[in-house]
Structure 1
Amino acid sequence: MGESSRIAGQDGLRADARRNRLSILSAARVVFAEHGIDAPMATVARRAGVGVATLYRRFPTRDALVRATFAHQTDTCAQALTEALADPDPWQGFQRLVETVCELQREERGFPAAFVSAFPDTTRERTRVCEQAERDFMALVRRAQAAGALRADFHPSDLAVALLSHCGLVTALPDDHAASRRLVAYLLQSFRAEAAHGALPAPSALSLRSLPLAADGSQGHRPPRA
């Protein structure tokens, strides 16, 4: 083994360990896009050119692998929420938040599956992060409603329903970006205050915790296969 392979970087990993980690994450993105996040961990290992034992040393659980694979996307969602709150125009902030999440769904084919999947979320810190994300999103909603831009009967679950609908489209038609953009525009127009005509049916019971807006990428309800 060469000297460069034995020297640890700033992240504490040796060069060969860093290469293995990057290979695994790259392979996971491809495998999850092709087969969904329930694809066998052994398939990811084979695509990465490493042993299953090596994969599990780097990522002890599927939860850990999925979170690491889509860390950039979930961080981008969290940043979009922060920027939406800081925008002096709450509707512009709300619109950019929705567009950012939908763009990630469209551009990263594995992300929609990760987005609608669930992982046990029992730690106090993760609960705190999720609750803060919910409070931040509701603050944005109230600001947009107070400005007369967002319909008064908007419910947080409406965003989950809209994003799940978009998820279905990009999963079925991954290369039809025009359809994706048009659906997003329709959805955003339906949220405008001037689009409210008559009473809506009762809202869904979906939780905001289904949405990847927490900084650690915490998500919603169905535990994945081991």
Structure 2
Amino acid sequence: METSKPLRADARRNYERLLDEAKRAFGQHGVDASLEEIARRAGVGIGTLYRHFPTRNALLEVLLRNRFDTQAKVARELLWHPSPSAALQEWLAELARTSTTYRGLVASVATALSDESSELYASCHAMQDAAARLLARAQEAGEIRAEVASLDLMLLANGVAWAVEHAPDGQGSIGRLSALVFSGLRTS
């Protein structure tokens, strides 16, 4: 929640309790967890939850902001990697991992990529911009097919994340599935 003045101590405690309970509930039940239950477990009314987080995506955005910021920082660092395609592949696998933070997050991210009114839109597009820089470097090196676009990468990472959510070995399949998808992006 962005405010022009600091929250009162009680409002800050409510905000933090809501985040803690949302993290727990989304971790257990996915992004469709009951907001009413989150508010109840935080010891506040649903109106307090909505005052801090007007939508489910607003709550998700706050919970994921650090992960997305870290993902963008990693992309900037990987621009110096000696192998542009290896850097891109590493970053995409990590994006797929981030997208599996909460069951059902993949759908929220995919929708946010094209919904400018979504609170997740800016974060998702920051990820797409990071992917575009890594992609351009790999394409300039002749390692990735020229027709691949940054949106393609985002959708493919989301596809891997969706598959991982439904795979018997879950997170254990991210590396393998990412490598399989990535092989289709290479020029040779």
Between stretches 95-104 and 40-49, larger displacement belongs to: 40-49
What value does the CA root-mean-square deviation take over the aligned residues?
3.1
Name the structure 1 match of 2:153: 159
* Greater C-alpha radius of gyration: 1
Give the helix-richer structure, 1 or 2.
2
- Superposed displacement of residue 79, structure 1: 1.8
Deviation at 1:144, TM superposition (A): 0.8
**Residue 55 of structure 2: which of 56, 61, 81 is its match?**
61
Q: Residues 166 and 121 of structure 1: is their aligned pair in 2 closer, same or farther, counting only changes over 3 Å?
A: same
Q: List runs of 5+ in structure 1 lacking aligned partners.
A: 1-10, 195-226
1:17 to 11, 17, 35: 11
* Maintained 8 Å contact 2:143/2:187: yes
Question: Residues 113 and 136 of structure 1: is their aligned pair in 2 closer, same or farther, counting only changes over 3 Å?
Answer: closer
1:114-129 map, 5 Å: 114-118=108-112, 120-121=115-116
Measured against aligned partners, the alpha-carbon deviations of 1:203-226 in whole angstroms (never above 9, x if no partner) come to xxxxxxxxxxxxxxxxxxxxxxxx
Identical aligned pairs, as a percentage?
Answer: 33
The code of the aligned residue for 2:102 comes to R
Structure 1 residue 45, shift from structure 2 partner: 0.8
Identify unmatched segments of 5+ residues in structure 2.
none
Does 85-94 or 144-153 show the bigger shift?
Answer: 85-94
Moved over 4 A (4+): 132-136
TM-score, structure 2 length as denominator?
Answer: 0.75
Q: What is the number of equivalent residue pairs in this alignment?
A: 179
Q: Deviations over 1:185-207 (max 9, x none)?
A: 2222332221xxxxxxxxxxxxx
Cα gap change, 1:99 to 1:135, in 2 (>3 Å): closer
Q: Could you tell me which residue of structure 2 aligns to residue 178 of structure 1?
A: 172
